[in-house]
Amino acid sequence: MSLGKFDYSVESVQLTSSTGQKLDIKDLVISIDIYESLLSPYIKIELGITDASNLLETVPILGQEKVDLVLLEGKTKIKKTFYVGSVANYIRANNQAAMYTLKLITPEQMMNSLRLVSHAYTGKISDAVKGVMKDYLNKNIDVTEDTVGNYKLVIPNWNPYQAIDWLTRKAMDKNQTPFAFYETFTGGHRLQSYTTLFNQKTYNKFVHKGGTATKTDAEQLQASYNVAIEYDIRDYSNTYKNTLRGAFGSAMHTVDISTRSYKLLKYDYLKDFDKKAHLDKVPFINKDFKVENKPINEYDSVHYVTNKNSKAWGNASYINYNNEAEFTKLEADAYVYQLGLTTINMVVRGRTDLYPGKIIEFEVDRDRPSVYGNAKDSNEYISGRYLVMHTHHKMVDGKYTIIMDVVRDSLGKKVKQRGGK
């Protein structure tokens, strides 16, 4: 049977033991699970194994093996190399067979466990990230978007990914929007600002409709590539939790120990909303909702205190280890927390080019009859643009689906009274 656009097959799974023995274990692999996240610098791979050959003893598998995986998706061949990180979920079916999971790690993860970064960097955060990847993880990455600001900093014997996480949390673009550093199965490592992520074109529109399908089997199969097979809402309008985190209002007390000066900075969600890119055009909270006659964005729900030494390097044009960009934490943390306002988990047909960082559009039916004079059948407050945050590519017995979390930080339509226009 020829493969369709989004079907897959496993061409080979070659295991190389620590002694150099090579085996193709393709016929033992019953499932492949690939985990990607916008919040993780590496991917996770799991191979489900049904073993009647007792490989754990005969090879043996000790967590020191290399795995070369070759997948075929349509006419595209995908080749990836991993190492066995551990063996998990061992179940002995009988005296002749067992089932277990091989948890794989990337070559960069292996190097991350072996090396420490002790290095001074001067210049842009994006250049420092590229430097850590090249010098310590043997990986050249193409960063198409530079961060703003010049830094002088020293990384004191941290693992490479720990260092990159610290650098990423300081990275901002010209709109003072934070960056994400992550890895995808087919796209590799990426350092991108949320401005770039939010402004990209929509990857695909997914629809979830109720009722019984009336299309022919062939038409239904074609349509299913754009259908959310199932979905559930994990978080919806989680205002209270994000208020506690300072997503709508916070303050920072900055003390400069070299000049003995003090500064108070405040973050206001509604004032900041129009300055930055968002998934949709309407803020999640509105100024008409008040607590004790005061909108919640005017409350400083979280206070940060930071010390800096503006003269540590003798040059005010550089931001040093103890001199963070004043608004970095205040604005960046709030901006990322807002992505937790609405989280939807959905299942769609599999494809390897759907991964974290993509923008999708989701349209879902209303949960009740249209009785308030609105002719639209879709839920106007759930439907809209979403950012793909986490993906779980699940390949079992030739069936390929993606279980993913998509998030939203804003609304596509202004809140109105029922029956209003």
Q: Which of 130-144, 243-257, 258-272, 302-316 has the highest mean pLDDT?
A: 130-144
pLDDT > 90: what percent of the chain? Answer: 43
User: Which ranges constitute the DSSP H helices of 125-173?
Assistant: 125-137, 160-168
Q: Of 26-35, 270-279, 307-316, 358-367, give the range with the top mean pLDDT.
A: 26-35
Q: What is the pLDDT of residue 377?
A: 66
Q: What is the model's pLDDT at position 22?
A: 92
Give residue 321's pLDDT band: very low, low, confident or very high (50, 70, 90). very low
pLDDT at 55 over 90: no
Percent of the chain with pLDDT over 70: 86
Lowest mean pLDDT, pick from 14-23, 140-149, 222-231, 282-291? 222-231
What pLDDT sits at residue 219? 56
Instruction: Report the pLDDT value the prediction gives residue 241, as an integer from 0 to 100.
Output: 87
Question: Is 239 a residue whose pLDDT tops 60?
Answer: yes
SS3 label, residue 129:
helix
Q: Between 387 and 382, whose confidence is greater?
A: 387
Q: What is the mean pLDDT of residues 214-231?
A: 68
88-117 mean pLDDT: 91
- Greater confidence (308 vs 421) lies with 308
Q: What is the mean pLDDT of residues 382-396?
A: 93
- Strands 188-193, 249-256: parallel, antiparallel or unpaired by DSSP? unpaired
Closest CA to 56 of 106, 90, 107, 20: 90
pLDDT beyond 50 at 229: yes
Q: What SS3 class is residue 80? A: strand
What is the mean pLDDT of the segment spanning 266-289?
Answer: 88
Q: Which residue's structure tokens are 């047909």? A: 349
The residue assigned the tokens 């990455």 is: 141
* pLDDT tens digits for range 325-337: 556 778 888 888 8
Banded model confidence at residue 19, pLDDT cuts 50, 70, 90: confident
**Average pLDDT along the chain:** 85
Helix or strand (DSSP H, E) at 195: helix 194-199
237-269 in b/e burial notation, b at 16+ Cβ within 10 A?
Answer: ebeeebbebbbbbbbbebebeeeeeeeeeebbb
Mean pLDDT, residues 4-17 taken together: 80
pLDDT at 333 (0 to 100): 86
Whole-angstrom distance, CA of residue 308 vs CA of residue 325: 10
pLDDT digits (tens, 9 = 90+) for 347-381: 999 888 999 999 999 988 766 554 544 445 667 77
Q: What are phi and psi of 350, to 5 degrees?
A: -80, 150
DSSP 223: H
Using the predicted structure, report yes or no on whether residue 115 has a pLDDT greater than 60.
yes
The tokens describing 96, both together, are 């002749």
The reported pLDDT for the residue numbered 114 is 95
Angle between helices 160-168 and 107-114 (to 10 degrees): 100
- How far is 338 from 61, CA to CA, in rounded Å? 44
What SS3 state is found at 326? coil
**Mean pLDDT (whole number) for 16-39:** 93
Check the CA dihedral 294-295-297-301 and report its sign: positive
Gap between the Cα atoms of 119 and 333, Å rounded: 27
- Has residue 223 got a pLDDT over 70? no
Confidence of residue 63 (pLDDT cuts 50, 70, 90): confident
Interatomic CA distance for residues 155 and 126, integer angstroms: 15
**Statement: residue 45 has pLDDT above 80:** yes
Q: Do 151 and 121 form a contact (C-beta atoms < 8 A)? A: yes
Tell me the per-residue pLDDT of 128-171, one tens digit each, with 9 for 90 and over.
999 999 999 999 998 889 998 888 888 989 999 999 999 998 89
Task: Give the single-character DSSP code of 147.
Answer: P
